[in-house]
Amino acid sequence: MLLHLSTWPEIEAFLERSRTIVIPIGSNEQHGPTGLLGTDWLCPEIIAHEAQKTADILVGPTFNIGMAQHHLGFPGTISLRPSTFIAAIGDWVRSLAGHGFDHIYFLNGHGGNIATIEAAFSELYVEASFVGRPRGFALKLRSWWDLPGVSELAQRQFPVGHGSHATPSEIAITQWAYPDAIKHANYAPQIAPTGPIREALDFRKRFPDGRMGSDPGLATPDKGGELVALATAALIADIAAFAADPVFGL
Amino acid sequence: MLLHLSTWPEIEAFLERSRTIVIPIGSNEQHGPTGLLGTDWLCPEIIAHEAQKTADILVGPTFNIGMAQHHLGFPGTISLRPSTFIAAIGDWVRSLAGHGFDHIYFLNGHGGNIATIEAAFSELYVEASFVGRPRGFALKLRSWWDLPGVSELAQRQFPVGHGSHATPSEIAITQWAYPDAIKHANYAPQIAPTGPIREALDFRKRFPDGRMGSDPGLATPDKGGELVALATAALIADIAAFAADPVFGL
Amino acid sequence: MLLHLSTWPEIEAFLERSRTIVIPIGSNEQHGPTGLLGTDWLCPEIIAHEAQKTADILVGPTFNIGMAQHHLGFPGTISLRPSTFIAAIGDWVRSLAGHGFDHIYFLNGHGGNIATIEAAFSELYVEASFVGRPRGFALKLRSWWDLPGVSELAQRQFPVGHGSHATPSEIAITQWAYPDAIKHANYAPQIAPTGPIREALDFRKRFPDGRMGSDPGLATPDKGGELVALATAALIADIAAFAADPVFGL
Amino acid sequence: MLLHLSTWPEIEAFLERSRTIVIPIGSNEQHGPTGLLGTDWLCPEIIAHEAQKTADILVGPTFNIGMAQHHLGFPGTISLRPSTFIAAIGDWVRSLAGHGFDHIYFLNGHGGNIATIEAAFSELYVEASFVGRPRGFALKLRSWWDLPGVSELAQRQFPVGHGSHATPSEIAITQWAYPDAIKHANYAPQIAPTGPIREALDFRKRFPDGRMGSDPGLATPDKGGELVALATAALIADIAAFAADPVFGL
Amino acid sequence: MLLHLSTWPEIEAFLERSRTIVIPIGSNEQHGPTGLLGTDWLCPEIIAHEAQKTADILVGPTFNIGMAQHHLGFPGTISLRPSTFIAAIGDWVRSLAGHGFDHIYFLNGHGGNIATIEAAFSELYVEASFVGRPRGFALKLRSWWDLPGVSELAQRQFPVGHGSHATPSEIAITQWAYPDAIKHANYAPQIAPTGPIREALDFRKRFPDGRMGSDPGLATPDKGGELVALATAALIADIAAFAADPVFGL
Amino acid sequence: MLLHLSTWPEIEAFLERSRTIVIPIGSNEQHGPTGLLGTDWLCPEIIAHEAQKTADILVGPTFNIGMAQHHLGFPGTISLRPSTFIAAIGDWVRSLAGHGFDHIYFLNGHGGNIATIEAAFSELYVEASFVGRPRGFALKLRSWWDLPGVSELAQRQFPVGHGSHATPSEIAITQWAYPDAIKHANYAPQIAPTGPIREALDFRKRFPDGRMGSDPGLATPDKGGELVALATAALIADIAAFAADPVFGL
């Protein structure tokens, strides 16, 4: 069930049977010479939208801009400051918690988001923790590649050249979902370098075409489909386990 | 050209021929018993995506959560505080301006966004205005119903019962684009009441099913298609005029 | 009744018979070669102070600095950032609501304030809307030229050359109230140009002497007096209607 | 010269001969059973406006709402949070500094403002201090009773019962300037108690009628006139000394 | 009793017998050619740690970075912006108040902190004052030199050349506590100049070696020991008086 | 070299030979029935202070309060909100970078700090990344247990019952450094439970005595000494490697 294609009475009815919601969250940022700028928000959106086709899961709108400051040296990247990102996640959660959702699950598509999303969760919890009152909801962050079995499959598919940014696994997923948007380029070197992540100018100097440790040329739509199938099943199970975990203090 | 389905080298190339970008911006909020929660971000997305099929226009990701505090009494609504909305728009613009975009056009789908978006523009401009240095970009807000000719068409299509929220025109547009998500209900009264907009509890009391002055039962996919066709053409012309308007102070 | 010339026991007594207060709000900004820098806060102050002479209305201190970033290219302009303006309006309202005022009416004198004041109202309401509790007050923004009948009179007085900034109507009002501060200059052109409002440098380039579409030379103290008389009567009626409108959710 | 009754060309001309401006700053808060709510912004306004009648001094609009949280237990008090106050003072200064004012003098009327105004100055300076660049302006805070000779005169006028809030000296000044707004009451006790300042409820408990250590019944318009005359002369001298003090680092 | 060397059950037990806590607060900033960068946080820490050896006082961790923007022209200075300082003090107090501490005493070591700490207190109180609910705690700021008798002793010890920054009294205290870190230099001039405090570049120009009005060469460890002994006794008495003062409104 | 026991000329001299500084950063929070509240800031302080005894390393003041919202259910815990923590880290870095430090190394003692510190780094970098200018410094976060070899030693020392909070390794380090503050208690159960971290009330319910998965009874001062010795050597090497890593974009 997609929230944005539902009406408010339909959500009101859903809340009668479940108080859990899934928010795909990612980033809009360069993904090397052939990766789509939307890769990191498209991947969790693709997986979550697949999941709700077969399970009674409510999927909210996609949070499509995250923390990508290090990629700003490449055109098309859009980033929030961490402080803005924290404020915005806070308002999404405040809105949803006000409706009675008490298990809010963020399916993440960007490693660079993780620290700030965790900080945003703490920023929400601390309002209650300072005053010794219950907040009454549980927040969970899960990156799609951390769903059980997914990174193992990716390592089997891409034993060499997976890397950490513009990886063949994420590009394969977008190829499967958007076959008309498959791009090609020569990669030089075939496998990109690795190194630390700092400010944008430093990043572009270290990673001239935007890739980190990866060879996106290995991606195929079929491998993307395998990843989506496995991730979708794992997501459904992961949400069920989360929904069953109590929130103490209520 | 859709930014999120493009690569950074493609955006770099686009910047050689144009420094204008379009951002669909809306809200995720209740739209009465039959309107989709995504209506206000889907409408500008639909129109902008149509426009880039026939014109060399760059369309960014959709900014899908806006200022909808008054709708929070209805499940499924997600709202940013105005201060968060201002910060987030600021970061989008800072990111895009950093890449060289100097004409940033927001195609809006929610009346309740207008005040805060205008405030966000001023928040960006004032950084330069305080110190007497040029900011170097122009920002434009246009709601799709204010594109030349659009509200005239809507008034011809719906001379009675158009209203101001959950209008038949916006619902018709989503019906045209998402025919599988057309919903039905009995409206009582047929035309919803009108009144002032204040906090959420007051709003729900005044507008029990969420509509304001409208009869969404008048919407049809065909009328939606007519609105999209007209709005798309008007958008292309409006962007061209905006792009031609100089930014003084550079 | 002027709050700043009253004592707290007098306000306590007023609250026994009314919970409505009027705040004149404006801006301190250039108004062309002959308009006073204080024009936009003087006009609502003049009208509100007149109104409380004949009606049992409580008028608070004047909020004299608003959002005028686009005028910062002209000496004497003082502007708040929108985020500061929102915070300050919030604290005024929090203070007044804490005393029991539940209808707070802002009589505005500056078009450039409108968006941010509306955003400030939403910032206040959303605190309650997120948590489903009543805020318990109603906020109203009314620009003096939007009081019933006022802009019609101004159009009759100045059928040509009214324009939108440094208008003869606002200058006439200050001439009526501050006859010792009437200034003279040659206007070239007689009617100023029009155009979009962006950052300060761009504004000064487009509007070299600060006027927008206006011929302030048409202003006279007598016309100002007519405007004040009409606006004062309209304000008294408008406040009465507002005070009678219930706040739901209490 | 009053900025708000001047035009921008007049301010431009003033900047040719001086880069110093005076801002009256105060608070709108309870002043006991007979003191005006506006006392703390009226006093510096009265003195500064007097001063500009005989000296070539530019006086800006009055900053009329300050930090008065402890008085919020009494109706009519309006307070900014310190964080809001800091932001607003910052924007006033940024606006004025942008026009070329490099000596900005705040004539204060409220003891409770002092800490936050000093913090606001540091908040402005630190922007430059972090990066080792000159800010280029000097800010000065002077409470009117700290002008040379003023508190000595007040002590001579009111050797007993001056106190620290709702003092006979400040009330005398408003009596001199607003003789039609002189209020009367029986004071019990004749001299109010003293004690620490904390939150509003604690304050009202300790100081039931709002006075701190004072007997406002001693105030007379004549004594107010003496205070104004002395303060006005001292202000003119103090501004001259400030204007002559260089700003290093330019 | 030092909080950081205690366990949570020990603090729980302490709260059974007292709800008062002492926080040493200072600044890390240049103190002339021979003063330690830590002087301003070491001094209150030294005195508070001494006091808890003989009295049943709970001393929290030292708040070691304060508002020192004017010293940023000298290497080693670390400063918070006032807005950050206010936020951080707020969170310390919120944490402690949440545990039941209702008398929180800040023993300060830096004059430049005073304004911002007072503003931080008001920022905390105003949350309650706006809504007419009790905050329920009392905050007290005391600089160590303002403890009864201390500045009188310092004036006797250093009748000439005490000054206001890098004073012989504060340096003597650190010499007594950290004899291995005593530094020597030639002072030219022997007694440093005085003047206003503004931004960092201006400060370094006016006070080339960092001292203000002081001759630190007068400091000796013995004089430091005398100051510590007196301040420690005075602190114990001051805390007892504060703890006995009720918080109204509970 | 300890910054707080140095003078500004000594830091100026240090900057001639190195532009790297180490900041111990931790948290003040409950550590179970026997762990010190200061454990998480004492551990990195102990290690860093040891390291500077044998290597030419500059160690700044300890940042002793971090993000510990989940521990606020236990008396003595003090936590910053993530937003405050980000602001404060920012000001420390801005201060140090202003002096010319371009490699700033945070030695961390609290797992709960990691997300927010990383977010703080991004908040600093993004200021430069938005505008395409170099920030010019590198920031590094290293938790002491992630120094090469340290967690391997801890696993050898405590193969069972190490856990993740109030671990025997961190308690052993404080026992080694503060032998007078060793505390004893009966643990029930001997090894604490594990589970997710959410708001404070939920945390106390899941972890009644504050420990997570650990048996602190295994700690001894000797084992602490071994950990400190290994960590100290590893820290010196890690800092040297960091200092040698260039900052691109300068």
Query: What span, in angstroms and rounded, lies between the C-alpha atoms of F57 and F42?
Result: 18
How near does any CA of chain B get to the CA of F132, in Å?
7
Neighbouring-strand partners of residue C104: C21, C139
The closest of B30, B77, B41 to A96, measured between CA atoms, is B77
pLDDT for residue D86:
98
Put simply, whether C77 touches B (Cβ < 8 Å) is no
The whole-number average pLDDT for the span E50-77 is: 98
Q: Which residue, among B95, B96, B170, would best test binding to A if mutated, counting the most A CBs under 10 Å from its CB? A: B95
Instruction: Assign residue E212 the CATH number of its domain.
Output: 3.40.50.10310
Please report the pLDDT score of residue E201 as a whole number.
95
Across the interface, whether the CB atoms of A7 and B100 are under 8 A apart is answered no
CA–CA distance from B207 to each of A10, B71, B191 (Å)?
18, 10, 11
Note the ipTM here.
Answer: 0.98
Per-residue DSSP letter, A142: E
Contact list in F for residue E32 (CB cut-off 8 A) is 7-8
C74, C37 contact by CB (below 8 A): no
Which residues of chain B have a pLDDT value below 50?
Answer: none
Does E115 contact D at CB distance below 8 Å? yes
Shortest distance, CA A126 to any CA of chain E (angstroms):
10
Touching check for E130 and chain C: CB below 8 Å?
A: yes
**Closest residue in chain B to residue C70, using alpha carbons only:** B129
Asked if residues D82 and C58 have their Cβ atoms less than 8 Å apart, the reply is no
Chains in contact with C, where contact requires at least 3 CB pairs less than 8 Å apart? A, B, D, E
CB nearest E80 (choices: F34, F91, F210): F91
At what angle are helices B221-244 and B39-54 packed, to 10 degrees? 60
Task: Give partners of D (≥3 CB pairs < 8 A).
Answer: B, C, E, F
User: Structure pTM?
Assistant: 0.98
Name the pLDDT band for F250 (thresholds 50, 70, 90): low
As a whole number, the mean pLDDT across chain E is: 97
Q: Where are the alpha helices (DSSP H) in A55-193?
A: 82-98, 114-131, 150-157, 168-177
> How many CB pairs below 8 Å do chains B and D form together?
8
Q: Is residue A232 part of a domain?
A: yes
Q: Chain C residue with minimal CA distance to D87?
A: C84
Q: In this predicted model, what pLDDT tens digit does every residue of F173-225 receive, in sequence order?
A: 999 999 999 999 999 999 999 999 999 999 999 999 999 999 999 999 999 99
User: Which tens digits make up the pLDDT trace of E118-140?
Assistant: 999 999 999 999 999 888 999 99
Query: Is F95's CB within 8 Å of D132's CB?
Result: no
3-state per-residue secondary structure call for E68-105: CHHHCCCCCCECCCHHHHHHHHHHHHHHHHHCCCCEEE
pLDDT for B242 = 98
Q: Are there at least 3 beta-carbon pairs closer than 8 Å between B and E?
A: no
Q: What angle do CA A71, F249, B6 make, to 5 degrees?
A: 25
- Token pair 């929290």 is found at E60
C132 with A98: Cβ contact below 8 A: yes
Closest by alpha carbon to B67, among F65, C123, A50, E37?
C123
Of A150, A169, A143, nearest in space to A158 by CA:
A169
Per-residue pLDDT of chain A (250 residues), as tens digits, is 999 999 999 999 999 999 999 999 999 999 999 999 999 999 999 999 999 999 999 999 999 999 999 999 999 999 999 999 999 999 999 999 999 999 999 999 999 999 999 999 999 999 999 999 888 999 999 999 999 999 999 999 999 999 999 999 999 999 999 999 999 999 999 999 999 999 999 999 999 999 999 999 999 999 999 999 999 999 999 999 999 999 987 5
CA distances from A244 to A59, A141, D65 (A): 18, 16, 52
Contacts of C186 (CB under 8 A, 6+ apart): none
Please provide the DSSP assignment of B154-194 as one string: HHHH-SSS--SBS-HHHHHHHHHH-GGG------SSSS---
Buried b (16+ CB within 10 A) or exposed e, B76-103: bbbbbbbbbbbbbbbbbbbbbbbbebbb
Closest CA to B88 of A111, C129, C126, A91: A91
* E 213-242: CB under 8 A from F: none
DSSP A171-198: HHHHHHH-GGG------SSSS-------
Chain A contact for E83, CB < 8 A?
no
pLDDT (0 to 100) of residue F248: 87
Q: Who's near F167: CB < 8 A, 6+ residues apart? A: F154, F158, F214, F216
How far apart are alpha carbons B105 and B91 in whole angstroms? Answer: 15
**Strand runs labelled E in chain E:** 20-25, 103-108, 138-143
Round to whole Å and give the CA distance between D199 and F20: 45
Average pLDDT over every residue of E22-43: 98
**Phi/psi at B78 (nearest 5 deg)?**
-130, 125
**pLDDT at D249 exceeding the cut of 60:** yes
Cis ω before A189 (30° cut-off from 0): yes
Residue B249, domain member (yes or no)? no
DSSP codes, C140-153 = EEEEGGGSTTHHHH
- Tell me the pLDDT of chain F averaged across its residues: 97
Residues of D in contact with E90 (CB under 8 A): none
d(CA F156, CA F151): 9
Asked if residues E171 and E31 have their Cβ atoms less than 8 Å apart, the reply is yes
Cis bond leading into C246, ω under 30°? no
Cα–Cα nearest to D241, from D12, D90, D55: D55
Position C91, amino acid: D
Identity of the amino acid at A35:
G
The answer on pLDDT for C135 being more than 90 is no
Q: Hey, what are E222's tokens?
A: 């013995």
Set of chain E residues whose Cβ sits within 8 Å of the Cβ of A131: 94, 98
Residue F249's pLDDT band, with cuts at 50, 70 and 90, is confident
What residues contact C208, with CB distance under 8 A and at least 6 apart? none
Q: What chains are in contact with A, requiring at least 3 Cβ pairs below 8 Å?
A: B, C, E, F
Residue D250 has pLDDT above 60, yes or no: no
**Measured at the alpha carbon of residue D40, what is the angle toward residues D39 and D41, in degrees to the nearest 5?**
95
- Asked if residue A46 is part of any domain, the answer here is yes
pLDDT digits (tens, 9 = 90+) for F98-122: 999 999 999 999 999 999 999 999 9
Query: Quick check: D135 pLDDT over 90?
Result: no
Selected residue of B84, B94, B101 to mutate for chain F interface (largest F Cβ count, 10 A): B94
Does a structural domain hold residue E249?
no
The pLDDT tens digits for D50-109 are: 999 999 999 999 999 999 999 999 999 999 999 999 999 999 999 999 999 999 999 999
Residue of F nearest to D127 (CA): F94
Number of domains present in the structure of chain A: 1
Which of C86, C115, C201 is closest, CB to CB, to B118?
Answer: C115
Asked whether the CA dihedral E114, E119, E124, E128 is positive or negative, the reply is positive
Beta bridge partners of C215: none
3-state secondary structure F82-138: HHHHHHHHHHHHHHHHHCCCCEEEEEECCHHHHHHHHHHHHHHHHHHHHHCCCCCCE
Question: Any idea what DSSP says for residue D97?
Answer: H
Residues of chain B contacting D133 with CB distance shorter than 8 Å = none
Please tell me the predicted confidence (pLDDT) of residue B250: 57
Backbone torsions φ then ψ of B87, nearest 5 degrees: -65, -40
pLDDT tens-place string over residues C97-116: 999 999 999 999 999 999 99
Residue of A81, A94, A127 to mutate when probing chain C, most C C-beta within 10 A: A94
Q: What are phi and psi of F191, to 5 degrees?
A: -110, 125
Which chain F residues are within 8 Å of D129, Cβ to Cβ?
A: 98
3-state secondary structure of A122: helix
For helices E82-98 and E114-131, give the axis angle rounded to 10 degrees. Answer: 60
F38 vs E61: CB contact, 8 Å cut-off?
yes
Chain D residues inside the 8 Å CB shell of B129: 98
> How far is B177 from B182, CA to CA, in rounded Å?
10
- Is F32 buried (19+), middle (13-18) or exposed (0-12) by CB count in 10 A? buried
Question: CB of C196 within 8 Å of any CB in chain A?
Answer: no
Residues C190-209 have a mean pLDDT of: 96
**Is residue F250 a part of any domain in this protein?**
no
Report d(CA C131, CA B61) in Å as an integer: 30
User: Which ranges of D77-138 would DSSP assign to H, the alpha helix?
Assistant: 82-98, 114-131
Q: How confident is the model at residue E210 (pLDDT cuts 50, 70, 90)?
A: very high
Neighbours of E88 (CB within 10 A): 23
Tell me what pLDDT residue D248 has.
Answer: 87
Q: How far D127 CA sits from the closest chain F CA (Å)? A: 10
Q: C167: closest CA among C184, C154, C148? A: C154
Q: Do A69 and F125 touch (CB under 8 A)?
A: yes
Minimal Cβ distance to D75: which of C8, C28, C76:
C8
C-alpha–C-alpha distance, residues C40 and D89, integer Å: 20
Helices (H) and strands (E) in chain D — how many of each?
8, 3
Provide the 10 A C-beta neighbour count for residue B250: 11
CA–CA distance, F123 with C49 (Å, rounded to integer): 48
Average pLDDT over residues C59-74: 98
Range of the domain at E165: 3-244
In a domain, A158, yes or no: yes
F96 to chain D: closest CA residue: D130
Q: Which residues of A touch F202 (CB under 8 A)?
A: 134, 138, 247-249
Which residue has 């195609």 as its token pair?
B107
What SS3 class is residue F139?
strand
The answer to whether position F107 is within a domain reads: yes
Which residue, among C87, C65, C92, C99, has the nearest Cα to D78 in the 3D structure? C92
DSSP state of D159: S
User: pLDDT above 90 covers what percent of chain D?
Assistant: 97
C144 is a domain residue: yes
